[in-house]
Structure 1
């Protein structure tokens, strides 16, 4: 077909497969760099104290990460315990078409997501990242950064000790391209995170009606809904010799 196609299940499968493949690629690169030995070291999803995901919607990671959870734990006693509950992955039958095979695998991963092992894993390592997303919605390219902020601020509130621990991060783009990487938390993370006030700012949002929304959407509204405070705004003096240039001014808090 020449026109774009929207298929929610297909889109989810692209996300799931891309993140899984990116994770396996990261695993191979880490092994070549001497960072990781598969048969000796603790698996990455256990090494990472938190896992930060691109979240098109709040519960995307909870529903899509079982594919990585499965692959990372294969061959371990952790996976043996899960497999004792959900059984072995479905074997692909001769001449089985892709659609029915993918449907069977989707059902299998859904079964994994309901096990106590996965529920606990998600609660401990992923859930804090989805809290802000559930209040905002899809941030597109900003999604992984929002999940990171949500996680850090939630851990600050819980007085969690994250000094020096590793985070795993999984980014994704709509072209079905994913990247997995890791980072180590700096000892001064509390000082930085304490200035964000993410959830406080979200709680102070102002509701708008349909008329104001249309004005903002069409770019015809001249005044800000909320007076600028401690942020950059488009400057009224935008004359420039540079085509397409935009000038901004800082409004103090």
Structure 2
């Protein structure tokens, strides 16, 4: 029985900034951002949005009535949790009007946990093939204004339906997970911004990729030649390039050309949105599938997942016929966003609810999204479906 990703959808904010403009305001050479980091645009999170509203928006794009009836579990993977106890999946389940006989949980391990959620989902579907599991990778990457990490911020969510007989990617049995206690990136409970050792983290990422790929090759007797493409976790687009070149080692044959071309296709959307933490690998996968016209059903795609702290996993899947029809229109959504000024971005950054204890009420009328965060009352976040107002 095949088990894997049946549908995928992406949601982000309605506003963005131009990173060339940010570079000018910060007194930095724009090429440091555009070429050195590999980012050109960045999603801006209004105070009326968070992982719950973004996750619900992504899931709402892919669910039909049949999907809703067979969902057994909702798993939200995030490192941007909005409560230390209550799972964000419960809020999302309510906004989506899913049945109360649905399991709802939240999982965490930096940017890696969406991959763990998919593997958990595969196990449930194997036991109950008639059921589906909704996996949502939702995050807000936040480092602070005028910091070294500012250019690698972002926000968004990728929703995936994991089923038997999937229509996008049938996940193969062999996967390799690898973990070590590493302090390359973390966010203490008292902080709203992450702490990161950028160069160290890049080196750890590359090492984990080489470790997991090498063991995968030994377990399966497969080589790079067996992959049509490899999708990478992309906190910034240059990260995937560093990892791929570390294993290609100046190869200039047909396989190297194919994998480099596929990497460029996978970077397209991340370059325009920014860092999605848990969702970065899967936005990269969507970008690959929608921007590489040479991919064909039956071909093998490799996936490298990484979360600082640190955990990595390499696994693979086989593309299914008609996979393009099961993806939301990411390019269309990005083209509808509104460009805002750096001053407006800075204001929105500072207006986030964060760790505020006070009651807060936001004006949601300016937010075009269906699902919004209306504020906080009695220490409880107030989520609203504007279609029900």
State if a TM-score over 0.5 links the two structures: yes
Q: Which has the larger radius of gyration?
A: 1
Q: Deviations over 1:29-50 (max 9, x none)?
A: xx3xxxx2x3xxx51x221212
Q: Residue 235 of structure 1 contacts residue 247 of structure 1 at CA under 8 Å; is this kept in 2?
A: yes
Match of 2:209 among 10, 19, 22: 19
User: CA–CA distance in 1 between the matches of 2:365 and 2:296?
Assistant: 39
3-state DSSP class of the match of 1:180?
strand
Task: Give the SS at the match of 1:9.
Answer: helix
Q: Of Structure 1 and Structure 2, which has the larger fraction of its residues in strand?
A: 2
Q: 2:252 aligns with which of 116, 121, 129?
A: 116
- Identify the match of residue 48 of structure 1 among 210, 217, 227: 227
Deviation at 1:12, TM superposition (A): 1.2
Alignment partner of 1:65 is 2:65: no
Render the CA deviation track for 1:64-111: whole Å, top value 9, x for unaligned.
223333xxxxxxxxxxxxxxxxxxxxxxxxxxxxxxxxxxxxxxxxxx
Q: Deviation digits for residues 172-229 of structure 1, max 9, x if unmatched?
A: 0011311111112221312213xx221122122112234532443223752365422x
Query: What is the CA-CA distance between 1:235 and the residue it aligns to?
Result: 6.3
Q: Quick one: distance in 2 between partners of 1:6 and 1:60?
A: 15
SS at match of 2:305: strand
Query: What's 2:286 paired with?
Result: 149
Give yes or no for contact 1:233–1:251 (8 Å, CA) kept in 2: no
SS of alignment partner, residue 338 of structure 2:
coil
Instruction: Indicate the structure whose relative CO is greater, using CA pairs within 8 Å and at least 6 residues apart.
Output: 2
Match of 2:372 in 1: 233
**CA distance in structure 2 between the partners assigned to 1:185 and 1:122 by the alignment:** 16
Q: TM-score, normalised by structure 2?
A: 0.42
| CA 1:161–1:20: 2 relative to 1, 3 Å | closer
1:123-202 superposed matches below 5 A: 123-155=260-292, 158=293, 160=294, 162-193=296-327, 196-202=328-334
Aligned residue for 2:364?
223
Distance 1:122 1:143 in 2: 18
RMSD, matched Cα? 3.2
**Distance across 2 between alignment mates of 1:18 and 1:205:** 35
Aligned length: 186
Asked if the contact 1:129/1:150 (under 8 Å) is kept, the reply is yes
Q: By percentage of residues, which structure has more helix? A: 1
In structure 1, the residue matched to 2:345 is 213
Alignment gaps of 5+ in structure 1: 70-111
Measured in 1, the distance between the counterparts of 2:252 and 2:345 equals 43
